[in-house]
Amino acid sequence: MKNLKGPALFLAQFAGDEAPFNSWDSITKWAADCGYKGVQVPSWDARLFDLEKAATSKTYCDEFKGQALANGVEVTELSTHLQGQLVAVHPAYDDAFDGFADPSVRGNPKARQAWAVDQVMKAVSASANMGIKNHASFSGALAWPYMYPWPQRPAGLVETAFDELAARWRPILDHADESDVNICYEIHPGEDLHDGVTFEMFLERVDNHPRCNMLYDPSHYVLQCLDYLDNIDIYKDRIKMFHVKDAEFNPTGRQGVYSGYQPWVDRAGRFRSLGDGQVDFVSIFSKMAANDFDGWAVVEWECCLKHPEDGAREGAQFVADHIIRVTERAFDDFADSGTDEAANRKMLGID
C-alpha cells in the first residue's frame, strides 16, 4: 500500500484580480498559510502561469516550481479544463464556450478547436518540463445535447460522436505518451465522458491508450446517483488523479436529478464544502489507500453557501485528517508463530 500525498488545492476557483489571489508568489504563500502542501495550476490563467514559456523553457518551469517551493507548496499538476472543453464543442454551445478561447479565435469554431488542441499539447509539454506525470483536462462534448433519448436518437449518432471525439484526442494522447504524461479526464456532466460507460466507449476507440486515464471526483457521481465507491474499484488502474469535493443530493416531490433549471442553491443536487455534504470520504480514502493510489488529494472547492476562503482553510484540515498513513506490517504480526513450509504441510496433513 502507498500513502496519498496532500492536502493540495486547485487554484482555479481562487485566482482573481485582488491580492493575494492575483500573482503566483502571493497565492502560493496564501495556500501554504491555509495548510496546503501542494497546488494544482489552471494553465489558462495568465495571472499565475505563462503556458507558452512553460511549454518551451525548462528554466521557466524550474523557476516557477522553485518559487512555489520557497513559499511552502509543490506544483502537483497542471490543468487544461477550459481548453480541453474546446477540443470538442457541439454547435449549440458555441456562444456559451467561446469565452474560454483566445479572442483571436472566437466566433470561428474550426480555429478555436485547433487553438484548443495546441493549448493542451503545450500543457503536456509543460508538464514534462516540470517532471509532472499527470495532467487534468475535460474531454469536451459532441453528444451531450442528446444525452436524454427523446426524441429517439438516430441509429449511429452516439457512435459517430465518440468516433470523432477519439480522433480529435488521439494525437494529444500520443504526444502525452511521448512526453511520459497521463491525460486524466475529469468525469463530469456536460462532457461526453461523464460516467464509467462513456469513459469505456472512448477508451475502446483510442485502443485502450495507456495515457487515457481518469480524474476521480465523487461529487459528480453523487449528483448522478452513481456508486462512487464501486467506481474506484472498477477503474483503480486508470484513476491517476483525485479531486476531493463534497456534494449532496436531496430529491423532493418537485425535483430530482435535473433540478428544474434552478440555480445551484435551489437544486436537489448541490456541491458543498468538504464535510458539509453526503460523500463518504472515510471509505474513499480507505479504498484509495488499499488500491495503492499514491497521487495527490486535491481540494476543488465549490459550494453555493460557504465563503471560499473558509472552505479552503477547512478543506486543508479535512484532507489532512482523512489521509491514511498506511501500515508497514500486519496488525496481528505479534501472533506470528514463525511457521515454515514443512510446518505448513504438517498442519495440512500433507505427507
pLDDT attached to residue 108? 98
Q: What is the pLDDT of residue 328?
A: 76
Q: Where are the beta strands (DSSP E) in 266-338?
A: 269-272, 296-299
Strand 212-216 relative to strand 74-80, pairing = unpaired
What residue has cell string 489507500? 289
Share the mean pLDDT of the chain: 96
Least confident of 97-111, 116-130, 245-259, 329-343: 329-343
Instruction: Measure the CA–CA gap between 319 and 1, rounded to whole angstroms.
Output: 18
How far does CA 150 lie from the centroid of its chain?
30
pTM for this prediction:
0.95
The pLDDT of 221-247, averaged and rounded, is: 98
> Tell me, what's the pLDDT at 335?
59
Mean pLDDT of 100-129: 98
Q: How far apart are CA 144 and CA 158, in angstroms?
A: 9
Q: pLDDT at residue 329 above 80?
A: no
Q: Which residue has the cell 484540515?
A: 317
Q: Which residue has the higher pLDDT, 89 or 344?
A: 89
In percent, the amount of the chain with pLDDT more than 70 equals 98
Domain residues for 187? 5-347
State yes or no: pLDDT of 290 exceeds 80.
yes
Strands 269-272 and 246-249: antiparallel
pLDDT tens sequence across 141-151: 999 999 999 99
Q: Once rounded to an integer, what is the mean pLDDT over residues 149-174?
A: 98
Position 45 confidence tier, pLDDT thresholds 50, 70, 90: very high
Domain containing residue 12: CATH number = 3.20.20.150
Residue 351 has pLDDT above 80, yes or no: no
pLDDT-derived band at 344, boundaries 50, 70, 90 = confident
Q: Report pLDDT for 332.
A: 63
Q: pLDDT at residue 199 above 90?
A: yes
Tell me if 323 sits within 8 A of 4, measured CB to CB. yes
Number of domains in the chain: 1
**Other beta carbons less than 10 A from residue 47's beta carbon:** 13
Residue 341 has pLDDT above 70, yes or no: yes
Is residue 334 very low, low, confident or very high in pLDDT (cuts 50, 70, 90)?
Answer: low
Residue 184 has φ and ψ, to the nearest 5°, of -110, 105
Q: Is the pLDDT of residue 241 over 70?
A: yes
Supply 180's cell numbers: 511520459
Mean pLDDT, residues 66-76: 98
pLDDT of 310 higher than 80? yes
Residue 333 pLDDT greater than 70, yes or no:
no
Percent of the chain at pLDDT exceeding 90: 93
